A and B are shown apart, each in its own frame.
Chain A
């Protein structure tokens, strides 16, 4: 791509200021102007989205990692944060840090406003109908545990079936194993088809009147595949089963519409979508959340407390015990503002290009085995590739890439041991991209990878 650098005018939203009450309206105006100029620049092909947004991420401009420039390709593990998010966190603690929902003084009211505004932003981001359908948790794992302990324990009976795929993240499997043991429910797993994607047809066949819940990922963190959630939801609802969607790898990278998907539960983590760690959320349909008993007990989630019993608050507060991660929630709000400013569709389109580029380039490395489907017109891959190279352990590859080239990838089982067992390997290496990566990053990675391969082969 040609490197024409477009100088960005500075917009108010990049350093949010809570002082003026009309700030929210200038916020939105700022978005439209910003996204217009981004669209113009990107559409004209002068500069890629990666090149344009990179300056917003201070951590990417590290000078030296083991003597080389940092090439960060571990975004599926966690994403980097733009200055806007960092500033919002700092601003919160500098200007209006206070406990929420409790106080009537000025700071407390401000903090509460911003915290609830963040909730509204999350709701709008995933197109939930009501912000009361968003429960803030520590991360997606806690959100899944919430559903498991709260909904699962009170709704599952012996011989009820929960359908999962073998490609699920451990966080989507283990809580259900625990709950299944307590309730006598049975877990059933869908295996992979010939494209190395969970077999959707088999999943459809597995859904029966005994099925009470289907737990599926939207985008796989190992295979890079995307599941047809709308279809799965239709089949599940036909038998009265609920669907829990693990959207950790989809929400940061594409448009996710919970009403369009008609999902009953959806979880995601902030740290994968340019927000701070320590916060994530559960989306649950109102009618479901209303029937669910509390998960953790404590302050905030109660209505009245007596010595021998307590009454509980309405959702979402019912599921948010104790002082929440206020600053982090506000940081997540800022991350959502940033992402919305670019536009999730734009991000998705750019990442699709990057995904194809990465896959093509990786295929050129000798003796490589990339897991997941081959991209085509029908099959789209996320911008990540898990792979193995014959005779070289992925940890050795990752170590060499880090030590010699400053390239950060991941090696291991990526919290998907059942999947790796099915693929017949103990571990794999994974490179995962985000919208602030560029084709140069990919080129750098491939070059370094080839160097790594020659190095290890020369030792044999």
Chain B
């Protein structure tokens, strides 16, 4: 897979300098395990190239990413590097048996340069991307399939957060939603469900909302996302409309977190 190096470098600036041998590679390894950031890729290739100043061969574990979703999936790849220069990775396969790690979507074609694909891709832009993607799928069953695909990408849910207060009300499946505000004032979300389709919804919504400003989160309306009505007919808000319930829950939790923060 090709991860464009200068996108990584953008993010690497956020890390404090670490004086370690094979610094670049170590930072890569550390950054993947500690930080969450999103990449938007504009290519589908599957080879990795990394420059290194290493003088001895070594292997290190590497987590894989999907482009639209910055949650690492649990695949660990061993990358073997030999002396200096640019190294190719081994081929590996994703969970669904395909070699492609990056999702091609109508959204991607709009992105031209890496600069536009920074971490600060706004919520409203992401909403548009998501809506465009689902709108492009004219067969209802393709939408179901796409949701299932996204369901696989959802980060594992921390069992300690599986609490009654994190249950999203009004869904026919069980959905848990955990939220918090990080030190930079951005909202983070994690979700899980026992239904794969609901998981897909959660995955999409989290891609849009995770790491966003609280004002942006609260500003997203159900009307904007009506294209997400996969398997739910009509526009009326009903008990069974999982994604709407999750969206409402996200907004409510964000508002509560913001209020709490202001009180301190």
Contacts and interface: CB of A to CB of B under 8 A. Distances in A.
Interface residues of A, number: 17
Contacts of A459: 96, 148, 152, 196
Nearest to A413: B172
B140 A396 contact: no
A399 B194 contact: no
Nearest to B152: A459
Contact of A395 (B96, B148, B195): B195
A396 B172 contact: no
A411 interface: yes
Contacts of B141: 400, 403-404
B138 to A, nearest CB: 11
A11 interface: no
B144 A393 contact: no
A403 B138 CA distance: 12
A439 interface: no
A415 to B, nearest CB: 12
B172 A427 contact: yes
Contacts of A426: 173-174, 194
Nearest to B200: A396
Interface string A247-276: 000000000000000000000000000000
Interface string A50-73: 000000000000000011000000
B196 A456 contact: yes
B231 A393 contact: no
A299 to B, nearest CB: 34
Nearest to A392: B196
A402 B234 CA distance: 14
Contacts of A403: 140-141, 143-144, 230-231
Interface string A118-140: 00000000000000000000000
A70 to B, nearest CB: 13
Interface string B108-148: 00000000000000000000000000000000110110001
Interface string B200-233: 0000000000000000000000000000001100
A232 B240 CA distance: 37
A120 B89 CA distance: 82
Interface in A376-409: 392-393, 395-396, 399-400, 402-404
B140 A393 contact: no
Contacts of B143: 403
Given A402-B231, A426-B194, A411 B172 contact: yes
B1 interface: no
A298 interface: no
Contact of B197 (A66, A67, A396, A404): A396
B140 A395 contact: no
Given A393-B195, A427-B172, A459-B196, A399 B96 contact: no
Contacts of B96: 459
A67 B139 CA distance: 10
A412 B172 contact: yes
Contacts, number: 50
Contacts of A402: 231
Q: Which among A67, A393, A412 has the greatest number of chain B C-beta atoms within 10 A?
A: A393
Interface in A101-122: none
B198 interface: yes
A66 B140 contact: yes
A67 B173 CA distance: 26
Contact of A399 (B152, B174, B231): B231
A395 B198 contact: yes
A427 B171 CA distance: 11
A215 B159 CA distance: 40
Interface in A24-45: none
B173 A395 contact: yes
Contacts of B174: 426
Contacts of A393: 173, 194-198
Given A393-B195, A426-B194, A456-B196, A399 B144 contact: yes
A402 B140 CA distance: 10
A404 B144 CA distance: 10
B100 to A, nearest CB: 16
B89 to A, nearest CB: 26
A395 B144 contact: no
Contacts of A412: 172, 240
B73 to A, nearest CB: 15
A424 to B, nearest CB: 13
Nearest to A400: B144
A412 B240 CA distance: 10
Interface string A419-431: 0000000110000
Given A412-B240, A426-B173, A459-B96, 13 more contacts: A67-B140, A393-B194, A393-B198, A395-B195, A395-B197, A396-B196, A399-B230, A402-B231, A403-B231, A404-B144, A412-B172, A426-B194, A456-B148
Interface of A: 66-67, 392-393, 395-396, 399-400, 402-404, 411-412, 426-427, 456, 459
11 contacts: A393-B194, A393-B198, A400-B144, A403-B140, A403-B141, A403-B143, A403-B231, A412-B240, A426-B194, A427-B173, A459-B148
